[in-house]
């Protein structure tokens, strides 16, 4: 049966850790009839947290896909992690989704990772709904969350719900459009019962409805004019204004409920259908693809199953029962079971031998995936995250814009316990690196150690456990280390001249480089190194110029102060010379490398360290002690504020000081404080610590 794009929604659930995303997802699966028993996070029985590590820790680690139907609409749902160490899962999900539900805890409000996922949704222009969860908790405050979303995220939330009571008194949800109250009866809240609004809530509901109408009226000139003329909007105009405002990012419909207590999920599903875009309306669908030959000549994609195939691999996972699974968003054309596919940019050929839809880890066989759909292909061997899939018959294959990921900030050494495990470890690491773009591995050239790198202690701990449990490899893991970097502060011109004559053919390579720090605008592109060729004429033949860049890159990787990679460097090739007989690619690689080594002492090299944005939530009596402990770690306290009965301390802290902080914080607060952190930026290391770090490296 063909996919009805008007009746399709591709959306994700995103939020700060412990806001209740997975519980919301589990209720959606239950109420849409895909599961007949509700699983709970605390019991390790949820559908989307299917990995052993997720069940044991009670957190989401990997984004999980689910398909289901609500009334007459087909839903593709992706439940994403909330922990910053697994932020790549949110990044790749936002890249391919048409909409998102951002979940906030009614007590915690806007927390550190809430801001991160909101920025990621802004980056990929994802329309979103706001769902305030846990309205039954002590300290719940819907209005406080409304203000925080508005002030801290720069958003324009539009509450279409009002809680009937909060905390222990939360008993239902008032719909400000229908002006009715809904309660959720039955063993699992299956029965949605409509009531008139109780007298004690009526005046407040009318006031909140007026606020909602004012926000919606500002969405368009037509609605503003009607509001000024009549003093109100019809329900039909409100719904249309909410939908159009959501699609154009001007507002975010805001709902409430308690997923754990089975309240409000059916109304959330109605809102997903009513306000989030379908694939035809989606900004994500109408992106531009590039001519793969020149990376130019952009053409828009159209959600037409008969058009040439353009699909994106946004996630790769090794799953029980299935093995290698590639999650794919089809933008244009259609993938059929058995189709031959070409991966761009590599040009390698694959076969879609088996297509499936997933509910967590459970596969359901399908035979086709048309434009606008999300599916999984089993057994692709040569694809990478961000690859475009096209048809081998396409005379003009087009490349979709890929996905950008954060760089790892933490490293540690790993080695097999026995020689027999050496090959198995190499295989396991290669598989994990293919799955996770924020996980890297390499051999240290100086020590010969195998190094792995990731986004944080938890990230590497989970991966090392997966190596042990999934791949049956016993490995010895070292202590985590910080990924320091170096940079330059001066601008100079330098000549790199590599000349050797040993009888017979010699070696000759000569280049002149201008080296300077990158500007803030250049850094904003995400590049850490730029190489520009400004040679006019033939002083260095064109075929040797890429070799100079290769030599420059190699030398910058080795650093000067402490042997760490040098970043934020702009190099311009301005002159050089060559020899008809003795010049070669190898000679010019050596010349480029030599130029950097000659320049290093004059470039004003400094050592950089990663700093983290840290947010600690603590009962008030421990605030002073915790602030003192952070300041002892060279922290810069940026903000302290109240969140219900607790205090929030926001700070920027060097990553090197944060190892083992979970244990320390527990002991400082009798186990009652929590914290989260995310990468901020690289900052210069204080001069007094440079020698110590250089000696260790």
- Please classify residue 338 by burial: count the beta carbons closer than 10 Å to its beta carbon, then call 0-12 exposed, 13-18 middle and 19+ buried: exposed
Q: Once rounded to an integer, what is the mean pLDDT over residues 240-251?
A: 94
- Look at the block and give the residue holding tokens 């659930």: 13
8 A C-beta contact, residue 683 and residue 608: yes
d(CA 380, CA 319): 13
- Of the candidates 531, 501, 613, the one whose C-alpha atom is nearest the C-alpha of residue 84 is 613
Higher-scoring residue by pLDDT: 267, 290: 267
8 A C-beta contact, residue 409 and residue 455: yes
| pLDDT surpasses 70 at 47 | no
Q: What is the DSSP letter of 484?
A: -
8 A C-beta contact, residue 227 and residue 107: no
Q: Above pLDDT 70, what percent of the chain?
A: 92
d(CA 32, CA 27): 8
| pLDDT surpasses 90 at 444 | no
Q: Once rounded to an integer, what is the mean pLDDT over residues 120-131?
A: 92
| pLDDT surpasses 70 at 295 | no
| pLDDT surpasses 90 at 395 | no
Query: What pLDDT score does 87 carry?
Result: 75
Higher-scoring residue by pLDDT: 82, 30: 30
Query: Residue-wise over 135-163: b if at least 16 C-beta within 10 A, else e?
Result: bbbebbbbebbbebbeeebebbbbbbbbb
- Confidence band of 689 (pLDDT split at 50, 70, 90): confident
Q: Once rounded to an integer, what is the mean pLDDT over residues 45-70?
A: 66
Query: What pLDDT score does 443 carry?
Result: 84
* Span 402-426, pLDDT tens digits: 888 877 878 888 888 888 888 899 9
8 A C-beta contact, residue 337 and residue 322: no
Q: Once rounded to an integer, what is the mean pLDDT over residues 388-401?
A: 88
Per the prediction, the chain carries an average pLDDT of 88
Extract the tokens encoding 584: 């070669």
Least confident range from 28-37, 311-320, 551-560, 561-570: namely 28-37
Q: Once rounded to an integer, what is the mean pLDDT over residues 5-29?
A: 89
Name the E strands within 345-433. 348-351, 354-359, 362-366, 368-370, 374-378, 388-390, 398-400, 410-416
Q: Above pLDDT 90, what percent of the chain?
A: 51
- Confidence band of 676 (pLDDT split at 50, 70, 90): confident
| pLDDT surpasses 70 at 35 | no
Query: What pLDDT score does 56 carry?
Result: 62
Q: What is the DSSP letter of 34?
A: S
* Span 190-228, pLDDT tens digits: 999 999 999 999 999 999 999 999 999 988 889 999 999
Q: Once rounded to an integer, what is the mean pLDDT over residues 267-275?
A: 96
Q: What's the whole-model pTM score? A: 0.77
The crossing angle, in degrees rounded to 10, of helices 661-669 and 623-631 is: 150
Half-sphere exposure of 68 (CA within 13 A, CB side): 24
Name the E strands within 501-582. 507-517, 529-533, 569-577
| pLDDT surpasses 60 at 109 | yes
- Confidence band of 446 (pLDDT split at 50, 70, 90): low
Three-state SS string over 224-264 comes to: HHHHHHHCCCCHHHHHHHHHHHHHCCCCEEEEECECCCCEC
Least confident range from 270-274, 281-285, 382-386: namely 281-285
- Confidence band of 285 (pLDDT split at 50, 70, 90): low
Query: What pLDDT score does 61 carry?
Result: 61
Query: What pLDDT score does 536 carry?
Result: 83
| pLDDT surpasses 90 at 581 | no
Name the E strands within 320-457. 323-332, 334-336, 340-344, 348-351, 354-359, 362-366, 368-370, 374-378, 388-390, 398-400, 410-416, 440-443, 450-454
- Confidence band of 365 (pLDDT split at 50, 70, 90): very high
- Look at the block and give the residue holding tokens 């801290």: 152
* Span 326-358, pLDDT tens digits: 999 999 999 999 999 999 888 899 999 999 988
- How far lies 306's CA from each of 139, 310, 370, 649, 674, in Å? 54, 11, 9, 55, 52
The set of long-range contacts for 174-177, using a CB threshold of 8 Å and a minimum separation of 24, is 174/201, 174/205, 175/267, 176/205, 176/208, 176/209, 176/212, 177/209, 177/212, 177/235, 177/238, 177/239
Higher-scoring residue by pLDDT: 176, 460: 176
Rg of the chain (C-alpha set): 28
- Look at the block and give the residue holding tokens 């490899």: 473
């Amino acid at each position: 049966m063909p996919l009805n794009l008007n009746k399709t929604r591709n959306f994700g659930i995103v939020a700060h850790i412990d806001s209740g995303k997975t519980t919301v997802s589990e209720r959606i699966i239950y109420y849409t009839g895909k599961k007949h028993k509700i699983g709970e996070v605390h019991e390790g029985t949820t559908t989307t947290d299917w990995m052993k590590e997720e069940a044991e820790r009670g957190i989401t680690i990997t984004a999980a896909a689910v398909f289901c139907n609500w009334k007459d609409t087909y839903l593709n749902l992706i439940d994403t992690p909330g922990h910053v160490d697994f932020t790549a899962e949110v990044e790749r999900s936002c890249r391919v989704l048409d909409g998102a539900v951002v979940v906030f805890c009614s007590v915690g409000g806007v927390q550190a990772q809430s801001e991160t996922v909101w920025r990621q949704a802004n980056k990929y222009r994802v329309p979103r709904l706001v769902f305030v969860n846990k309205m039954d908790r002590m300290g719940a405050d819907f209005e406080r969350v409304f203000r925080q979303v508005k002030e801290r995220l720069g958003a324009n939330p539009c509450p279409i719900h009002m809680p009937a009571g909060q905390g222990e008194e939360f008993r239902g949800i008032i719909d400000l459009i229908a002006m009715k109250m809904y309660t959720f009866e039955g063993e699992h809240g299956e029965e949605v019962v409509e009531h008139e609004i109780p007298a004690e809530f009526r005046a407040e509901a009318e006031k909140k409805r007026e606020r909602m109408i004012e926000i919606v009226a500002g969405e368009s000139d037509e609605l503003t004019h009607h509001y000024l003329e009549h003093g109100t909007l019809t329900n039909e105009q409100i719904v249309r204004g909410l939908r159009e405002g959501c699609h154009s990012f001007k507002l975010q419909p805001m709902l409430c409920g308690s997923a754990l207590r089975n309240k409000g999920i059916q109304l959330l599903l109605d809102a997903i259908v009513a306000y989030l875009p379908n694939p035809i309306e989606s900004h994500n669908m109408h992106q531009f693809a590039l001519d793969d030959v020149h990376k130019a000549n952009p053409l828009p994609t159209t959600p037409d199953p008969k058009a040439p195939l353009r699909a994106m691999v946004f996630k790769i996972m090794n799953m029980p029962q299935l093995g290698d699974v590639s999650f794919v968003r089809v933008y244009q054309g259609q993938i059929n079971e058995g189709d031959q596919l070409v991966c761009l940019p590599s040009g390698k050929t694959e076969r879609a031998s088996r297509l499936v839809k997933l509910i967590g880890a459970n596969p359901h066989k399908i035979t086709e995936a048309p434009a606008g759909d999300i599916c999984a292909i089993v057994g692709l061997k040569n694809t990478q995250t961000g690859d475009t899939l096209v048809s081998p018959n396409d005379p003009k294959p087009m490349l979709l814009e890929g996905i950008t990921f954060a760089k790892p900030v933490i490293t540690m050494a790993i080695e097999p316990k026995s020689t027999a495990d050496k090959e198995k470890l190499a295989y396991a690491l290669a598989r994990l690196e293919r799955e996770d773009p924020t996980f890297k591995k390499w051999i240290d050239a100086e020590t010969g150690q195998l190094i792995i790198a990731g986004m944080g202690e938890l990230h590497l701990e989970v991966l090392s456990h997966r190596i042990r449990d999934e791949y049956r490899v016993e490995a010895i893991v070292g202590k985590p280390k910080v990924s320091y970097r170096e940079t330059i502060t001066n601008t100079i011109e330098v000549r790199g001249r590599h000349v050797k004559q040993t009888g017979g053919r010699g070696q000759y390579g000569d280049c002149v480089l201008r080296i300077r720090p990158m500007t803030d605008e250049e850094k904003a592109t995400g590049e850490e190194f730029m190489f520009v060729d400004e040679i006019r004429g033939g002083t260095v033949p064109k075929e040797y110029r890429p070799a100079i860049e290769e030599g420059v890159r190699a030398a910058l990787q080795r650093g000067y102060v402490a042997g760490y990679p040098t970043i934020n460097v702009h190099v311009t090739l301005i002159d050089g010379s060559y020899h008809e007989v003795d010049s070669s690619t190898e000679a010019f690689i050596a010349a480029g490398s030599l130029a950097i080594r000659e320049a290093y002492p004059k470039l004003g090299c400094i050592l950089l360290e990663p700093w983290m944005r840290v947010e600690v939530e603590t009962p008030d009596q421990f605030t002073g002690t915790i602030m003192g402990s952070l300041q002892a770690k060279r922290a810069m306290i940026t903000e302290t504020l109240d969140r219900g009965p607790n205090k929030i301390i926001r700070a920027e802290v060097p990553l090197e000081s944060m190892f083992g902080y979970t244990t320390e914080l527990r002991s400082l607060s009798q186990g009652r404080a929590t914290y989260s952190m995310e990468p901020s930026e690289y900052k210069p290391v204080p001069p007094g610590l440079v020698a110590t770090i250089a000696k260790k490296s």
